[in-house]
Each structure stands twice: as structure tokens, then as C-alpha cells.
Structure 1
């Protein structure tokens, strides 16, 4: 029997094929960068599952598999070649393969001249990108998939980089965009990134096959590819395991003792050397002095129980909400700072509810909002004024330091 081990950037996939190349065992697991531990465990479980076959052929593939294979003396099969072997064997006549992994994306054109387009240097538009966007929405990728089924409109979202995507998504959320629409827009962005960045004008048509974790688990991502490409792609059985199957199908003659190989993997340690930067602080005392110096710059808060006339300021930022109430002498009575979870309105509502409960005799003379969510907060609560963020920064900074020259603000 033959083992194919696909060591991806975020997951491990393993298959065992019998003499007729049928799958008799398969396993899929996120490795969380504990590659040696997880790979060794897989081989041990295979040895336990097939005690009658203590020795098997083993081939390793995947973006994180080369160093492991070379160090342990195991055959390594390049993942594009492994994919081609498996697709030609199991899905003859395939024209195009689109594969999205944890941190890379590939398009294989198998007809009209073999051509491979691969994005291996950036995780934009891959599984890691989708995970990051789901975290931003405070949902799981599966929940994002379910929400996308009920979308009404598609927004333009950058997918080249997670930072750019957040810059597009956060204002949408702060302005009240439905998470259903944002979820579908994220999938559409991944499709556009794959087509524009990899196909680069070459037409994707004919028999198209979808492989890899994101395209296997996320039906709405497949639907977005179908919709934008104007075709119906195929997501075959065992679509997660095509690289592992292709590596196992690659001819080889050497067999390995499974438990011995597992032990060698356990003992394997990476031998790479990395340059590091100097530490920010040379000692604990230096760090403590830094903290003490900055801790002196505080804004006192007064007991506002007797306050009758107050002002409210709200900063609905990209990732957090900040709210403050001051009296007529510009003393802070109460404040709040919270992550907005993409929906600032309930948080500000709770803040205002608590304020009116704790200070029933206070009269709000004026209120202002600023930040990404300025308009939605202004409209939701009848805020008097909207203020440009930089002007708000300067007004407050000048209050505490009249000779201020520069203001540095790093937001979410």
C-alpha cells in the first residue's frame, strides 16, 4: 500500500491507497504549525489501523512538505505535479483546475498546452484570507457561507490584501451594511482576485474542477465562481485529498517502516536560522520606567453625581467605539471603550441607557459624533453634530497641550 502526505500551509491531508489505488484510509487536520507532531501522529494511526502492513511507500507533497521530506529522506512530489497526476487519473478530460488552499491559490490549464498559474507568495484571496474576514465579521467561515446564501447586493471589496479588505469592509459594517451582503461580497472578491491575478486574461472554460479546502467547504464560494465565470464547475468527491492522492500515485519503489518514520519525524527539528531585531527594552527596569513615564499622562475623572448640564462625544472607529460625557468645566464624568464587533449601534445604545440611568438629573446640552461610523451614530441617536476626525483630534490635543506640533494616531 502507498501513503500520500500533503503538508499544506495550514492543514495536513493524508491518504492510504491499496494496490488498485482505491482510498482505504484518509485523514484531514489543521496543524496549527505543529507539523511534525501532527504528521507523526497520522503515521502512528495508520500503523495501528493496518498492523498487517508495517511498511508502506510514502510520498510527501505540499507547500510545507519539502523540508520535512528532504530531512527525513522521504520522496517529495511537487504539489502541482501531484494535482495533475490525480486529476488526469480520476477526472480525465478536465480543462481547468482551480485550487484554493490555506495560503496559496492555483489555476492549472490542462488543455491547449499545460500552464500553471500560482500565487504562493501572498495569502490574499485564499483560505487564510477568508478566515480573517470571518473573524472581522465575528462569525465562523461556515456561518459566513450560510449568510451569503441570502445576499441581496454585492459590494466591491479588495482581496489582494487583508488590510485593504478590512478598509473596505469596516466602513460598510459601520454604515449598517447587512452581513449577508458583505459575506457574499467577500466570496466574490476572492473569485475576482483569482481570475484577475492568476488567469490574467486566459479564458476559463470547459470542464472546470474545484479543489482545496475553501472550495470544498464553502458552497457559496463555488457558487460565486460559477456565477462570475458563467459555468458550472465540478467539486469531486475527496476534493481535499487530490494532492495527497497524486503524490501516492507517483511511481516509487522504496518502502518505509511507519513507526520508524513517525519517530524520525518527531525528532526532526527545523535547522533554519533567522535574523532578529534588537529588543525594544534591554531590561525589565527599562520597561518599568517606560510604563511609569507614560502612566503619568492621565485624564482625571470626576464624580458627576451633581452634574446638571453635560456634553456627549462619540467616536465610532473602525474597530472600536469610544464615548465620553463631560460637564461644563470639561471634566470627564464617564466614558466607555469597547470593540465594536462590526455593529456599533447596540453598544452606544447601551452606553446611553446606562448614562441616563446613572445620571437621571443630567441634561445633555449638545452631542457630537466622529469616526468611521459618524453618520450611522448621528442618524440612529439624533446626535447634534458630526465632526471630522482630525479636527476632533486637534481640539482635544490642544486642550491638554496647547503647544502641540504633531498628532500621531494609529487606529484599528
Structure 2
């Protein structure tokens, strides 16, 4: 019988359905909203259209214990590390860019979590920082990424706070600074906040919704860390790790 892992994040809820060989058969994500149970139910309803699966489901994330269905809750940090090690099978560092926080995880050569750190002080360096600026500029993630690809130079964003950064960007646009160069500066600002979490000494793996929808940011990480990679559909890795931990 197939198993389901669900990562109930602050912004999005991500689910995967996995077979007996620990292969992902399908994945699905929805906006979390205010009701974690409702978000998880949408995931289950989607999978039930094509698959049969066992109970309980395996959860992690902010809403991992907020369900009205049988579940086994897991640590998001350990689940993500489990999935990353399952793919790469080596010592590495992980930077996970989430909606409300950014996580740094150091994984040992036998797959254990050596240390981790989270940035929760403000939105800078998180997905919400990029999403809020994109919303204010009325551009999609695809357009945001394309503008950065077209940049000719990096404009330094001085404001770390989202509110002040938006004001700074709008002011600079009025002064004639290109939107392309500004957006490249936003990406670099996010990267700077991420790498402040820890010294990166090992192979770097970037995960989360931001590298999935903003591939340019992975390229910029690679400029600083040539070994940097981001696996396909990386925002689903924690959900996948929940299943791996219970296999």
C-alpha cells in the first residue's frame, strides 16, 4: 500500500505519495491558509482520485499536529535531512528557503543531522520577502526570474526589512534604475541572508519553493559555491523524508 507524507508549512502544504520502493509517484501542493486540516484534506482528496494509500499519514512542518485524521508527526529538520541524504548519500550542507523562515542543516557522511540553525527574526532571506516584492511590483515568479536573467549589473539592496526594501525599490525605479538590476539585487540580498546562517564548507544543497520557482537564485548560489545543487521539486523533500523515516 502506498504511503503519504505531508509537509504543512506556513505558506504552502506539500504532499507526496510514495510506493513500497520509496519512489515518489505523485506530488501536490496547496496554499495552507488558516486551516491546516483543510489543506491536508485537499492533498488527500487529490491523491485519492488515482491511488489507494495506507493510514496514518506522515507529517512535518508548522501544522504537523493540527490534523483530524490519523497521523504520525516528524521533525521537519530530520525529515528534510533524510530525503537529501537519500538522494545524495554524502556529507553536505542544506539551505532550505521557506515561506517564513530559512533553515541551515549540516548533514554528516552517515546521514545524521550534525547541526542546524533557523532565521526567524524577519522575512529577509525567506520566500515571503521575494513574494511580497513580486506582489507589490505586480509580476509573477516567472517574470521575476526572467528579469534577473536579463540584468546587466547588480544593484545593492540596502534595506533588509521587506517594507523598507519595497519602498527603496519603488524609489529606485522612479529614479531610472532598471527593474532587471533591482531584482538581481533582491536575489543577492536573499542569498546574503542565507549564508549568514553558517559557514558553508561542504557540498551545498538548496531546497524549498524558492529554488523551484526561481532557478536563477540557484545559479547565483553556484557562483559562490560551485558544488551547489537544487534537486527537482525540492519543496517536496521534507514530505518525502517523512515517509522515508517511517519505512
TM-score by length of 1: 0.55
Match of 2:245 in 1: 250
1:225 aligns with 2:221: yes
For the residue of structure 1 that corresponds to 2:226, the secondary structure is coil
Q: Deviations over 1:346-370 (max 9, x none)?
A: xxxxxxxxxxxxxxxxxxxxxxxxx
Q: What pairs with 1:280-291 in structure 2 (closer than 5 Å)? A: none
Counterpart position of 2:206? 210
Query: Which secondary structure state, in structure 1, belongs to the residue aligned with residue 241 of structure 2?
Result: helix
2:104 and 2:172 map into 1 onto residues whose CA distance is 31
CA drift of 1:169 comes to: 1.5
Task: Measure, in 1, the Cα distance between the counterparts of 2:158 and 2:97.
Answer: 17
TM-superposition CA deviations, 1:215-238 (whole Å, max 9, x none): 1111111122222x2424111123
Computed over aligned residues only, the root mean square deviation of the Cα atoms, in angstroms, reads: 2.1
Highest RCO, 1 vs 2 (Cα 8 Å, sep ≥ 6): 2
Q: Distance in 2 between matches of 1:138 and 1:27?
A: 25
SS at match of 2:72: coil
Q: Contact 2:105/2:117 (CA < 8 Å) preserved in 1?
A: yes
Instruction: Report if aligned partners of 1:12, 1:29 keep a CA contact under 8 Å in 2.
Output: yes
- The 3-state SS of whatever aligns with 1:97 is strand
Q: Deviations over 1:122-181 (max 9, x none)?
A: 322211110111123232222111011111221221463202312432221121100000
- Distance apart, 1:107 and its partner CA: 1.2
1:287-315 per-residue CA deviation (whole Å, 9 max, x = no partner) reads: xxxxxxxxxxxxxxxxxxxxxxxxxxxxx
Q: Which one has a bigger Cα radius of gyration?
A: 1
Query: Compared with structure 1, are the counterparts of its residues 232 and 217 closer, same or farther at alpha carbon in structure 2 (3 Å cutoff)?
Result: farther
TM-score by length of 2: 0.90
Shift of 1:37: 2.3
- How far apart, CA to CA, are the structure 2 residues paired with 1:36 and 1:57? 14
Q: Residue in 2 aligned with 1:101?
A: 98
Q: How many residues align?
A: 243
Partner in structure 2 of residue 82 of structure 1 = 79
State the match for 1:65 in structure 2.
64
Gaps of 5+ in 1: 253-412
Distance 1:4 1:142 in 2: 28
CA distance in 2, matches of 1:74, 1:206: 35
How far the C-alpha of 1:121 sits from its partner, in A, is 4.8
Paired with 1:46 and 1:230, the residues of 2 have a C-alpha distance of 38
**Secondary structure of 1:154's aligned partner:** coil
Please say if residues 159 and 190 of structure 1, whose CA atoms lie closer than 8 Å, have aligned partners that are also in contact.
no
